[in-house]
């Protein structure tokens, strides 16, 4: 809990994130999952199904506090002809003027993962563009990664065990990200090709089987059942960070200027 306090203070004071009362309190949670997210996609296109909500806008996912309800909705979407997937989420930030408590499950995270998750979620409270979830998540992912790195370096040191553990975790994640990126490229090429729908559906089975074999040989995991919705869900939290790094450098690695530049993007 002391580390949570330190991360929040660093996020507000050093990273220029909007000060709030988010994660100032905590709530008990059973297990590692706080909410279950339902994702859906067209079967012959990598295009997300959008869930629309009053006031909040549209999102490429819908959250449930009960896994059985999430799985029931995913099954209904499958019957409608979509690819669907259910994924657990450890935390969230509500895009409304209310304060979110810290889920107790996050207290079991190591220092780097805790810092990254908290800063990612606090970033949503600083920069939120309605109906632009892909951009919102990409920005929050970048802020979470770069902010956690800066926090760990200042609090524990470049050669600390905390920094080492976090970077080892990132290296493992990159292996999975690379595989999903290759899979997405192969599926895109197939769906944009001249074959008919039946042939594309058959050929994509071979592509998914290739991904499973690659995952086994590379020592990473892929979600099952593997489909378009899984690929899109993964990509939402594994964006290309290079444009964000470039903007950060352009603004002299100054956090307030960089956040202002993000907000000024069309």
- Residues 155-210 have pLDDT tens digits of 999 999 999 999 999 999 999 999 999 999 999 999 999 999 999 999 999 999 99
Containing 7, the helix (H) or strand (E) segment is helix 2-13
Tens of pLDDT, residue by residue over 214-243, are 999 999 999 999 999 999 999 999 999 999
Task: From 155, 174, 189, 157, select the one nearest 45 (Cα to Cα).
Answer: 189
pLDDT of 31 reads 85
Residue 56 has pLDDT above 90, yes or no: no
Q: Is the pTM of this model over 0.85?
A: yes
**Is residue 266 very low, low, confident or very high in pLDDT (cuts 50, 70, 90)?**
confident
pLDDT over 90 percentage in the chain: 88
Give percent of the chain with pLDDT exceeding 70.
Answer: 100
Q: For position 158, what pLDDT does the model report?
A: 96
DSSP string, 39-93: EEE-SSS--BPPEEETTTEEES-EEESSHHHHHHHHHHHHHTT-EEEEEEES---
Token pair for residue 85? 């997937």
């Amino acid at each position: 809990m002391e580390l949570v306090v330190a991360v929040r203070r660093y996020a507000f004071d050093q990273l220029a994130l909007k000060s709030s009362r988010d994660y100032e309190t905590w709530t008990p949670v059973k297990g590692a999952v706080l909410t279950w997210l339902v994702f859906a996609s067209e079967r012959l296109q990598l295009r997300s199904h959008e869930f629309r909500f009053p006031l909040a806008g549209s999102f490429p996912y819908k959250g449930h506090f009960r896994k059985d309800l999430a799985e029931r909705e995913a099954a209904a979407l499958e019957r409608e002809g979509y690819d669907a997937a259910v994924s657990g989420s450890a935390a969230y930030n509500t895009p409304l003027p209310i304060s979110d408590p810290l889920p107790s499950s996050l207290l079991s995270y190591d220092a780097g993962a805790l810092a990254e998750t908290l800063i990612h979620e606090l970033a949503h409270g600083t920069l939120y563009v309605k109906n632009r979830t892909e951009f919102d998540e990409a920005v929050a992912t970048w802020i979470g990664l770069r902010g956690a790195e800066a926090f760990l370096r200042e609090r524990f040191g470049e050669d600390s065990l905390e920094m080492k553990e976090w970077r080892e975790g990132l290296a493992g994640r990159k292996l999975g990200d690379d595989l999903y990126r290759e899979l997405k490229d192969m599926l895109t090429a197939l769906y944009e090709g001249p074959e008919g729908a039946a042939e594309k559906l058959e050929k994509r089975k071979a592509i998914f089987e290739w991904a499973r074999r690659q995952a086994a040989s590379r020592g990473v995991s892929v979600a099952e059942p593997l489909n378009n919705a899984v690929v899109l869900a993964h990509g939402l939290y594994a964006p290309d960070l290079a444009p964000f790094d470039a903007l950060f450098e352009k603004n002299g690695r100054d956090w307030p200027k960089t956040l202002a530049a993000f907000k000024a993007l069309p």
